[in-house]
Amino acid sequence: MGVGLDDHQGLIPYRYRPPATLIGRGAAGPISLGARMTAVAHVGKLLRGKRRTQLAVLLAAPMGWLVFAYLGSLAVMLFNGLWRFDLGTQIVIKELGLSNFERLWNEAVYRTITQRTLGMAALVTLTCAILAFPIAFTMAKLAGPRARRYLLVAVLLPLWASYVVKVYAWRTILAQEGVLNWMLSPLGLDGPGTGGTGLTGIWLTLTYLWLPYMILPVYAGLERIPESLIDASSDLGASPFTTFRKVVLPLAFPAVVAGSIFTFSLTLGDYITPRLVSSSQFIGNVIYDQLGVAGNLPFAAAFASVPMVIMVVYLLAARRLGAFESL
């Protein structure tokens, strides 16, 4: 997307433009053509250098902030993860070692929690992808411009509505005396509740929370598919299902991957939802408790680097799949 525009927006238009003073308000006195050419070349060279300075001035603050405050923080966290916490004295021992990572690897409970979190992230991502298609397709291909705009806003607003309040709303829905059980009871069924260690409530809530993050990129991806391709497929006798499977889905796949970056990452990083709608432990819960309750900063830091590394790998893979072009 950016590549085509660059030819018009890069350095080139500026680089060879005569300085305004020479053509505008006029330089003092008449200048011979030759002198003028030299002057232009000279100022041009100066400007080129200047543009580099301008760029440095523009980028210094934001890049400084992100590198220093963000990447720097991640580095400190990775470093802290190599420290050790003495359980007897409750003191952080600032010696480097891999003991925290060994513990994460060797103790079954942490492996289980990591697998549970990853499994949930995958399940939520898959569910969101499936649920996103009908509405995204309707928005992209069936709705008129007006209806499309309304639908877009209707999907967009809840995405931004207070996250913790939405989790809380689910807690009241899933509660023993909540709406869900009231609706299920005539069928003789019982909802997941919020007290047990079940994962259904977490799955429902997380799917709910991240669904708009999937709908929006999938909608954008579907909108870019030319109508003619779908027409051609159906003219050649393909059923709607075949057209979807062979034409729409492959073309929309990068958009699904783009959406999955958010559904996956947000699930990995959440500890509020598991805490509010279940008593099951996710990576985030362990990190929060190790830091806040046990005061074991090194172990919390070590465990937090796990979802970080997973997401970095995920982002690199998504980039290869072309997800970034469809965001």
Partner 1 sequence: MIYSRSLRWLLRGGTAATLAFIYFPLFILALYAFNSARVQRWPIDGLSLEWVRRAAQNEGARDALFTSLKVGLLATGIALLLGSLAAFGVARYRFFGRDAVSFLVVIPIALPGIATGMALNSAFREAPLIGGIEFGTMTIAIGHATFCIVVVYNNVLARLRRTSLNLEEASADLGATPVQTFRHVTFPAIRTALLAGALLAFALSFDEIIVTTFTTGGGVKTLPIWIFQNYSRPNQGPIVNAVGLFAILLSIIPVYLAQRLTEEEVVSPAAGAAAATH
Where in 88-117 is the site for partner 1 (CB under 8 A)?
Answer: none
Q: Which residues pair with 84 in a beta bridge?
A: 93
Q: Give the residue, chosen from 47, 110, 258, 280, that forms a contact with partner 1 under the rule CB under 8 A.
A: 258
Of 116, 166, 111, nearest to 276 by C-alpha is 166
Question: Of residues 31, 101, 178, 321, which one binds partner 1 by CB under 8 A?
Answer: 178
- What is the C-alpha separation between 115 and 128, in angstroms, rounded? 20
**Tokens describing residue 241:** 């299902």
- Helix/strand number for the chain, H first, E second: 17, 2
Residue 199 C-beta: closest distance to partner 1, Å: 18
- Spell out, one character per residue from 197 to 216, where the chain touches partner 1: x when CB under 8 A holds, - when not: -----------x--xxx-xx
Query: 151-170: which residues touch partner 1 (CB under 8 A)?
Result: 151-166, 168-170
DSSP 183-236: HHGGGT-----SSSS-SHHHHHHHHHHHHHHHHHHHHHHHHTS-HHHHHHHHHT
Q: Please report how close the Cβ of residue 312 comes to partner 1 at its closest, in angstroms.
A: 8
Distance of CA 208 to the CA centre of its chain: 16
Site for partner 1, residues 111 to 150, rule: CB under 8 A: 131-135, 137-139, 141-142
Q: Figure out which of the listed residues 20, 28, 33, 187 binds partner 1, where binding follows CB under 8 A.
A: 20
Residue count, binding to partner 1 (CB under 8 A) = 120
**Candidate segments 41-49, 97-105, 107-115, 271-279, binder of partner 1 by CB under 8 A:** 271-279
User: Do the Cβ atoms of 195 and 277 come closer than 8 Å?
Assistant: no
Distance between CA atoms of residues 169 and 205, nearest Å: 9
Residues present in the chain in total? 327
Question: For partner 1, which is the closer residue by CB, 33 or 142?
Answer: 142
Shortest Å, Cβ 157 to partner 1: 5
Show Cβ contacts of residue 179 under 8 Å, excluding neighbours closer than 6 positions: 172, 173
Residue 178: phi, psi to the nearest 5?
Answer: -85, -175
State in angstroms the smallest separation of the CB of 301 from partner 1.
6
CB of 89 to partner 1, least distance (A): 19
Tokens of 266: 């947000």
Shortest Cβ distance from residue 238 to partner 1 (Å)? 10
Task: Give min distance, CB of 88 to partner 1, in A.
Answer: 22
What is the contact mask toward partner 1 in residues 213 to 242, using x (rule: CB under 8 A)? x-xxx--x------x--xx--x-----x--
Residues 31-90 contacting partner 1, CB under 8 A: 51, 54-55, 58-59, 61-63, 65-67, 69-74, 76-77, 79-80
